[in-house]
Amino acid sequence: MKKLVKIILFAVAVTIFSVAKTNAQVSVGISVRAGFAPPPIPVYVQPECPADGYVWQPGYWAWDPDVDDYYWVPGEWVPAPDPGLYWTPPYWGYDDGVYLYHSGYWGPDVGFYGGINYGGGYFGVGFCGGAWAGNVFRYNTAVVNVNRTFIHNTYIDRTVIQRNTIVNNHVSYNGGRGGVVARPRPAELRAMNEHHVAPTRFQTAHAQAARGNRNFFAKANRGRPSPAAVSRFAAAHQNTQATRNANRMQTARNTAAQRPQQARTNASQRAEASRMQASRKAQQVRGNANRSTGAARMQANQRAQQSRNRANQRVEQARTNARQQQQHMQAQRMQYQQRAQQQQRMQYQQRAQQQQRMQAQRMQYQQRAQQQQRMQAQRMQYQQRAQQQQRMQAQRVEPQQRAPQRMPQPRPQPQREHH
């Protein structure tokens, strides 16, 4: 019963998501205002891309009006709503004493995002981490982190980094004192006026989860989110995504198992209805034929045979469609299984890397402790030697002080003989 409820809820969520994705058209707009500048963009390591068709969404500072504070939304690989769409990151811009938040969006080209150097392919102008080639996204491994064991649509182009970089710092806002000085280029202005698609439900859920983590607020981390908190958040978010993929796979399996049976049932019903209709027409034709000539009988038989042939063709077509649907769902099941295996491998690799880093930290702590012990022993040796030298000096001085001072006696003069 619980599984059935979960499947129904997932189907409703998928339906809502598809409708929202179809009707989500937005324009570049301002949604939030803040009275002080956002913190600098923290330095972090970009995780590996989990699957084909995923696009990098860089981390950014968002605003929570309930607590009047910025909170960090970590970067994440997200699936594109449709092939051919690129992500334009949000940015903060200074205007007349306040900082305005410009929302991100999907579009056929990357628009203006304040000239901010987010890293990961967003160095101030456009996106140089990859490009769409038809329905396939090709990744520039000179810029983005991709596991080429699972993803083979890659290329290397290091020249785009220098061409697309406006500033080489961590400033997170445009304009104002200390902000990035950049204005939209003609290509970015055209992209801002194109057809846009709002952030997906996956991106919205990611931002809401970051808002619920107190460790990401600037007042708590002083504008520097800890890498450990970001790693734990990414792992939890990845597990949630894996659970969603597993639910999708289970729903797809159930749907695949039901569709062939439903198709056969519908085909049988249509075939039975066609046979009954053909039988009624044949009876009518035979009744008319009895009252008419033999030519009418021949025409009635021909029409009945045509109806049977059409009914048989419909049944055969329905069976063919059911077989094709079953093959298609089998291919989808294989794809879902492969993706789940890839995600499991990535989780195991990340855990192993984290254990290695923790082991290296333990070794560093031990080495520092040993070095401090050696230095403490050296200090003790130096102090003992100094004390020993002082005692020896005191021993030399004490006998000299005790010895009595003797007066020098005059030497006897030799006597001369007088002749």
Q: Are residues 218 and 340 in the same domain?
A: no
Domain endpoint, select from 363, 395, 411: 363
Q: Are residues 216 and 181 in the same domain?
A: yes
Query: For residues 215 and 135, is the Cβ–Cβ distance under 8 A?
Result: no
pLDDT score of 137 more than 80 = yes
Confidence of residue 149 (pLDDT cuts 50, 70, 90): confident
**Mean pLDDT of all residues in 152-156:** 92
Which contacts (CB < 8 Å, 24+ apart) does range 143-148 have?
144/46, 144/49, 144/56, 144/120, 145/45, 145/46, 145/47, 145/48, 145/49, 146/48, 146/49, 147/48, 147/49, 147/346
Domain endpoint, select from 194, 225, 256: 225
**211-225, 238-252, 359-373, 390-404: least confidently modelled range:** 238-252
Of residues 294 and 77, more confidence is placed in 77
Q: What is the structure's pLDDT at 218?
A: 93
Domain count of the chain?
Answer: 2
263 located within any domain: yes
Q: Which burial class, exposed, middle or buried, applies to 132 when counting CB atoms under 10 A from its CB (0-12, 13-18, 19+)? A: middle
**Mean pLDDT of all residues in 19-40:** 60
- Give the Cα separation of 279 and 311 in Å (integer): 12
Q: Which burial class, exposed, middle or buried, applies to 250 when counting CB atoms under 10 A from its CB (0-12, 13-18, 19+)? A: middle
Q: Are residues 205 and 302 in the same domain?
A: no
Domain endpoint, select from 163, 195, 225: 225
3 located within any domain: no
- Write phi, then psi, for 70 (nearest 5 degrees): -85, 150
115 located within any domain: yes
Q: Which domain holds residue 310?
A: 246-363
Q: What is the structure's pLDDT at 331?
A: 92
Q: Are residues 202 and 268 in the same domain?
A: no
Q: Are residues 122 and 69 in the same domain?
A: yes
169 located within any domain: yes
**pLDDT above 70: percentage of residues in the chain:** 80
Q: Are residues 251 and 173 in the same domain?
A: no
Q: Are residues 189 and 65 in the same domain?
A: yes
Per-residue model confidence as pLDDT tens digits over 295-309: 888 888 999 999 999
Confidence of residue 21 (pLDDT cuts 50, 70, 90): very low
Q: Are residues 284 and 185 in the same domain?
A: no
- Write phi, then psi, for 412 (nearest 5 degrees): -70, 140
10 located within any domain: no
Q: Are residues 294 and 191 in the same domain?
A: no
- Structure-token pair, residue 89: 């990151």
82 located within any domain: yes
48 located within any domain: yes
23 located within any domain: yes
Q: Are residues 214 and 280 in the same domain?
A: no
Q: Are residues 153 and 211 in the same domain?
A: yes
Per-residue model confidence as pLDDT tens digits over 264-285: 777 778 888 888 888 888 888 8
Q: Are residues 190 and 104 in the same domain?
A: yes
Q: What is the structure's pLDDT at 274?
A: 82
Buried b / exposed e along 304-340 (16+ C-beta atoms within 10 A): beebeeebeeebeebeeebeebeeebeebeeebeebe
Q: What is the structure's pLDDT at 14?
A: 37
Q: List helix spans (H) across 69-185.
A: 159-163
